[in-house]
Amino acid sequence: MKSKATSFDIAYQAGVSQSTVSRALRDSPLVNQETRDKVKAIARELNYKVDKNASNLRQQQSRTLALLLFEDPTTDDSLINPFFLSMLGSITRASAQAGYDLLVSFQNMSDDWHADFEDTNKADGIILLGYGDFDDYRDKLTQLEEQQTHFVRWGAIDENHPGVSIGCDNFQGGFDITQHLIDLRRKQFAFIGGADSHAPEFLARYQGYCKALEENGKAGDSVCQISAISTEESGYSAASDLIKSGDKVDAIVCASDLIAIGVMQAFKDSGVEVPDEVSIVGYDNIPASRFTNPPLTTVAQNTILAGELLVKSLLELISNEEVEPQLMPVEIVVRKSSVIM
Amino acid sequence: MKSKATSFDIAYQAGVSQSTVSRALRDSPLVNQETRDKVKAIARELNYKVDKNASNLRQQQSRTLALLLFEDPTTDDSLINPFFLSMLGSITRASAQAGYDLLVSFQNMSDDWHADFEDTNKADGIILLGYGDFDDYRDKLTQLEEQQTHFVRWGAIDENHPGVSIGCDNFQGGFDITQHLIDLRRKQFAFIGGADSHAPEFLARYQGYCKALEENGKAGDSVCQISAISTEESGYSAASDLIKSGDKVDAIVCASDLIAIGVMQAFKDSGVEVPDEVSIVGYDNIPASRFTNPPLTTVAQNTILAGELLVKSLLELISNEEVEPQLMPVEIVVRKSSVIM
DNA sequence: CTGAAAGCGCTTACAG
DNA sequence: CTGAAAGCGCTTACAG
């Protein structure tokens, strides 16, 4: 009584075979309209639901996507980079709309993502968000590709990177935000954030930064760059080094908002006024960027579109369609951390 | 060749029966040590992974938990209340550690959570985070209970609420933070946030607030309360009303950080200094609360412990153990929005 | 349009 | 300690 109804229970009550029940519930055109209605009515009445495990086993699929997050060295408890957190909602939503369930896990929970998700039939494909060092990560991507795993990742787009990437135009973002500072008549620039193969997104932002300086005759001397990973602490310490060095700067482009928040704090702690003495800008438009003091000028990436595109591309990959990497545009969000009133 | 190995492939190579392979891989004591090692070696070599669907179907379970988030009216794109977002990491982590997968979805994606998760065998249990109006939500909880669904929720603890709740001591939090303001010699108090059955957490915080005022001989006149839902906009508009009313207040307890951020903005826009003229405090200790100007004094809930406890309790429920609701302690985080320097 | 039957890949009671 | 067999609840080719 209390135990779950199966398709046989419905078949019995409807006076048809179990095969017919299965067909009717899946809206097969093979089934007579009348039979179909009857079966559906009984199914509803018995509160019948197709058993996912049985259905998936039979069809050799899972109708589930896996979202693998990178465990970030964040200051709060979430362990997830706030930028990725804002993407989570749209990925969840897009998966659900496509009729797929979404499994969420951390990348470091497993060594072999393919084995743990696709081989076990837990997921039909994988979405990757974030990573530590790209040079290490690349090997994992190559491995996934060799195993013919269906996966998409958010990040820099480069023909040499394994797999399909969806990402924003980091070069353009770096260029635009630097141009914004140049338009404000800032003279002495610095870039804070790693600018090498370990972090290709940051590198592209840096290259956009350099290009903007170059186009404005500011190459050479003022192309100052200090490495930092994407945390407030790292930004704080990089900025402290810069301040100690005595180099005069009046414009700082940070590779991420988290870095910028740390950098801003370091300058304030040294008694330097932001933006009066130095303009500071970030990248990502994380929720906290609106609340910093002063509010942070930054580069926004469309996280809603990003989530939708990641899911859409992955589903295409799963249906063996050809999928192109996608480069999305960025948008400058001007707030008070850059503009002198 | 390229197709996935099954237990039969291993059986063939190991020269044993498929049953023995299954037993060996599950570390059954029935299997000879030698046989077990051989089977495991071959499994590793063939990159064999147990098919989840088959295994789950057979065992009539899913080893999966469902996390149902409430789609909040947030200002950013995530659609998820930042407080719950910080819990996501620890829930993900705790599930993985218990050997369970975590399915994430929005509550409004479905009308019948039981049917959509437990009846389909997609999940063995459900974790609920957030809701809109508690009076509506309560019916859903009652329904879940009637269907004997395994579920736990984060929220107010009340014997009359259906199901098992894990939550922080909202009454104590409201009391402590109000006492903090009293200790600062504030005189005229207001509480901003709904204080009725629609939002039991807010109500408990309000009751703690009232109790603290009462104990300090401040009951009666100063027990001012203005309703607001947990968004910056709602806080802003409630504070604007308060300001317009001309009532003098020098201490405002907000039911959440989001409300407090809006309230603070409204006062600043009216030229009132925070905290010099009015102390403003929030509740939740969301990431952005550290960055507001001035940084927000608030009540912190231990999100890591909360996530772990939710998962632990749900697993106990699944194994049909008796589970008690859990009330966790809170901690006041004093920042500059309350304290005059 | 419908039914009987096979089979997806496991786990486990049963028999030895 | 091991194997043959049943069965979890579906979907779908096959036959009519």
DSSP string covering A212-230 = HHHHTT--GGG-EEE---S
Mean pLDDT of A127-150: 90
Query: Could you identify the residue whose CA is nearest to the C1' atom of nucleotide D7?
Result: B58
Q: Which of A81, A91, A104 to mutate to test the interface with B (most CBs of B within 10 A)?
A: A104
For the entire predicted model, the pTM comes to 0.92
A239 touches strand C (CB under 7 A): no
Percent of chain B with pLDDT over 90: 59
Residue A115 DSSP one-character state = I
Mean pLDDT of A44-67: 91
Dihedral of alpha carbons B176, B181, B184, B187, sign: negative
The number of CA neighbours under 13 Å toward the Cβ of B116 is: 19
Q: Give A-chain residues touching B287 at CB under 8 angstroms.
A: 75-76, 78, 82, 287-288
Give the span between the Cα atoms of A91 and B126, in whole angstroms. 20
**How far: A19 CA to D14 C1' (Å)?**
13
What letters, b where the CB count within 10 A reaches 16 and e where it falls short, cover A222-258? bebbbbbbbbbebbbbbbbebbeeeeebbbbbbbbbb
pLDDT of residue A3: 64
Q: Is the pLDDT of residue A18 over 80?
A: yes
One-character DSSP codes across B164-191: EEEEE-HHHHHHHHHHHHHHTT---EEE
> Among candidates A284, A298, A295, which has minimal Cα distance to A332?
A298
Instruction: Tell me which residues from 18 to 37 on chain A have a beta carbon below 7 angstroms from nucleic acid strand C.
Output: 18-20, 23, 29-35
Q: Which of B44, B92, B106, B116 to mutate to test the interface with A (most CBs of A within 10 A)?
A: B92
**How far: A64 CA to D13 C1' (Å)?**
26
The nearest CA of chain A is from the CA of B176 a distance in Å of: 23
CA of B59: which chain A residue's CA is closest? A53
Given an 8 Å threshold on Cβ–Cβ distance, is A261 in contact with B291?
yes
CA of A2: which chain B residue's CA is closest? B147
Mean pLDDT of A267-287: 93
Give the span between the Cα atoms of A149 and A158, in whole angstroms. 19
Pairing of strands B164-168, B326-328: parallel
The nearest CA of chain A is from the CA of B34 a distance in Å of: 25
Q: What pLDDT digit, counting tens, does each position of B100-132 carry? A: 999 999 998 888 888 889 889 899 999 999 988
Q: Is the pLDDT of residue B165 over 50?
A: yes
The number of CA neighbours under 13 Å toward the Cβ of B54 is: 11
Q: Give A-chain residues touching B102 at CB under 8 angstroms.
A: 103-105
pLDDT: which is higher, B160 or A257:
A257
pLDDT tier for residue A35 given thresholds of 50, 70 and 90: confident
Given an 8 Å threshold on Cβ–Cβ distance, is A78 in contact with B86?
yes
pLDDT tier for residue B186 given thresholds of 50, 70 and 90: very high
pLDDT of residue B1: 35
Instruction: Choose the closest CB to B261 out of A57, A120, A291.
Output: A291
Dihedral of alpha carbons A22, A24, A29, A30, sign: positive
In angstroms and rounded to an integer, the radius of gyration of the C-alpha atoms of chain B is 26
From first CA to last CA, the distance across chain B in angstroms is 73
Q: What pLDDT digit, counting tens, does each position of B40-65 carry? A: 888 888 888 899 999 999 998 899 99
For chain B, the average pLDDT equals 90
Instruction: Choose the closest CB to A57 out of B2, B53, B75.
Output: B53
CA of B61: which chain A residue's CA is closest? A53
Least confident of A155-164, B197-206, B232-241, B318-327: A155-164
Q: Which long-range contacts (CB under 8 A, 24 or more apart) does A60-64 make?
A: A60/A121, A61/A121, A61/A124, A62/A121, A62/A122, A62/A123, A62/A124, A62/B52, A62/B53, A63/A99, A63/A100, A63/A101, A63/A124, A64/A100, A64/A101, A64/A102, A64/A103, A64/A122, A64/A123, A64/A124, A64/B103
The two structure tokens encoding residue B84: 């719950």
Query: Could you identify the residue whose CA is nearest to the C1' atom of nucleotide C2?
Result: A20
pLDDT: which is higher, A118 or B299:
B299
CA of B110: which chain A residue's CA is closest? A96
Give the span between the Cα atoms of A332 and A273, in whole angstroms. 22
Q: Give A-chain residues touching B305 at CB under 8 angstroms.
A: none
CA of A304: which chain B residue's CA is closest? B77
B61 touches strand C (CB under 7 A): no
**How far: A173 CA to D7 C1' (Å)?**
59
Assess contact for A313 and A98: CB atoms under 8 A: no
Q: Give A-chain residues touching B75 at CB under 8 angstroms.
A: 287
Q: Is the pLDDT of residue B92 over 70?
A: yes
For chain A, the average pLDDT equals 90
Q: Which of A1, A6, A10, A85 to mutate to test the interface with B (most CBs of B within 10 A)?
A: A85
Assess contact for B267 and B192: CB atoms under 8 A: no
Q: What pLDDT digit, counting tens, does each position of A177-221 carry? A: 999 999 999 999 999 999 888 899 999 999 999 999 999 888 766
Q: Which of A53, A91, A285 to mutate to test the interface with B (most CBs of B within 10 A)?
A: A53
CA of A72: which chain B residue's CA is closest? B89
A38 touches strand C (CB under 7 A): no
pLDDT of residue A223: 66
- Tell the burial category of A216 from Cβ atoms under 10 Å away from its Cβ (0-12, 13-18, 19+): middle
pLDDT tier for residue A146 given thresholds of 50, 70 and 90: confident
Give the span between the Cα atoms of A318 and A301, in whole angstroms. 26
pLDDT of residue B295: 93
Query: Could you identify the residue whose CA is nearest to the C1' atom of nucleotide D11?
Result: A58
**How far: B155 CA to C13 C1' (Å)?**
44
Given an 8 Å threshold on Cβ–Cβ distance, is A53 in contact with B57?
yes
From first CA to last CA, the distance across chain A in angstroms is 73
Mean pLDDT of A243-250: 90
Q: What pLDDT digit, counting tens, does each position of B202-260 carry? A: 999 999 999 999 998 887 665 689 999 999 999 999 999 999 988 889 999 999 999 99
Q: What is the 3-state secondary structure (H, E, C) of A270-283?
A: CCCCCCCCCEEECC
Q: Is the pLDDT of residue A338 over 90?
A: yes
The nearest CA of chain A is from the CA of B294 a distance in Å of: 8
Percent of chain A with pLDDT over 90: 59
pLDDT of residue A1: 35
Q: Give B-chain residues touching A263 at CB under 8 angstroms.
A: none
Given an 8 Å threshold on Cβ–Cβ distance, is A51 in contact with B109?
no
Q: Strand D: list positions under 7 Å from protein Cβ.
A: 1-5, 7-13
Given an 8 Å threshold on Cβ–Cβ distance, is B86 in contact with A105?
no
Instruction: Choose the closest CB to A57 out of B57, B64, B90.
Output: B57
Instruction: Choose the closest CB to B4 out of A47, A119, A261.
Output: A119
pLDDT tier for residue B88 given thresholds of 50, 70 and 90: very high
The nearest CA of chain A is from the CA of B262 a distance in Å of: 11
